[in-house]
Amino acid sequence: MSTPSATVLRTEPPRLDADEPRDLEIVQSGADRIFTVTTRAIAATVLVITGGIGIFLASSFIPTIKTYGWGFLTGSTWEPEKDVLGIGSVLVGTFTVAFIALVIAFPLSVLGALYIAEYAPPRLRATLTSLVDLMAAVPSIIYGLWGFFLLQPHASGVAHWLHQHLGWFPLFHVGTDPDKASPQIYNYTASAFIAGIAVAMMVIPMACAVMRQVFAQTPPGEREAALALGSTHWGMIRSVVLPFGRGGIIGGTMLGLGRALGETIAVYLIISPSFDLKLRPLEIGTNTVSALIAGRFSEASDQQLKALLAAGFVLFIITLVINTAAAMVVARSRSGAGADA
């Protein structure tokens, strides 16, 4: 008796090209095509304008270096009547004001961003976010007037106190006796310290906004995992939010530094112009590149105008490098990766 034979199904081996990725053809609609073209045109326009500014400033930088030599970048004398120009002290003053602004703005920006993103009630969070954005929109001349009329009298007293108690440290030393019965308080006015405080108020909203957005993008799953393991709210922030937002913290700080280096009107209204090469931020007198250009532009001759534009080119390069580095740090961070909307 014969048994039925089993039926064996055989399939042909898959074709090799079956596993190869297929080219997807993306067909954009009319609205998408218009948006893409418009965005690319705007980006190209920004690059062209930025490049044009750089070329224009560089055209004045080269003749200035030929006339005054590389000592133009290191000299601390600005005497147009003697045809002796140098921006060394001005560059030191620029970084001094920016450094003071960052020392004040960095902790306040981080704490403000953490409070808005992590601790503020939902109803208050929207209001605080709007206030921070509004603070960033206030014109710089308002900060300058505020610093000159309201901040300076109180900040001068703080500078005197720092000199009196920490004057042994070079950064807090001022060329006067702080223990006099009637201290010469004018020696503590119109300084880099006061200008730095005013600039810090302008840097805080910019840096705080960047940090807050990054903190808010922390993946909820990582937050919940830390809390599920028994972590406190602050422990979760320290182990999850802050490491995730490290790129945003660095990027926001560097963007604020770029703003601090280029601030003009607020600094110009507060400081007493000086070309002394010194590291005494509490003492009266300092200068920055932007304030130098604003103060000397109207009375400059053709050669002096080229020197001012050359100083602007140096500031342009410094700011461009800082902002580019900040963008690279933010782009390479994991901020926003894996965050659930």
Q: What is the pTM of this model?
A: 0.84
141-200 pLDDT, tens digit each: 999 999 999 999 999 999 989 998 998 888 898 888 887 766 678 889 999 999 999 999
Q: Rounded to the nearest 5°, which phi and psi values hold at 262?
A: -100, 5
In this structure, what CATH number is given to the domain that contains residue 51?
A: 1.10.3720.10
Q: Output the DSSP codes for 114-154.
A: HIIIIIS-HHHHHHHHHHHHHHHHS-HHHHHHHIIIIIHHH
- What is the pLDDT, as a whole number, of residue 180? 77
- What is the pLDDT, as a whole number, of residue 278? 84
Arithmetic mean of pLDDT over the chain: 86
- What is the pLDDT, as a whole number, of residue 51? 92
Nearest to 132 by CA among 190, 203, 64, 68: 203
251-293 pLDDT, tens digit each: 889 888 988 998 999 999 999 988 888 888 999 999 999 999 9
For residues 201 and 101, is the Cβ–Cβ distance under 8 A? Answer: no
Within a domain: 197: yes
Domain count, the chain: 1
- What is the pLDDT, as a whole number, of residue 1? 47
- Compute how many other C-beta atoms are within 10 angstroms of the C-beta atom of residue 4: 5
Alpha carbon 312 to chain centroid, angstroms: 18
Within a domain: 18: no
Within a domain: 136: yes
Within a domain: 274: yes
Within a domain: 181: yes
Residue 276 domain boundaries:
29-332
- What is the pLDDT, as a whole number, of residue 12? 55
State the average pLDDT over residues 38-51. Answer: 93
Within a domain: 17: no
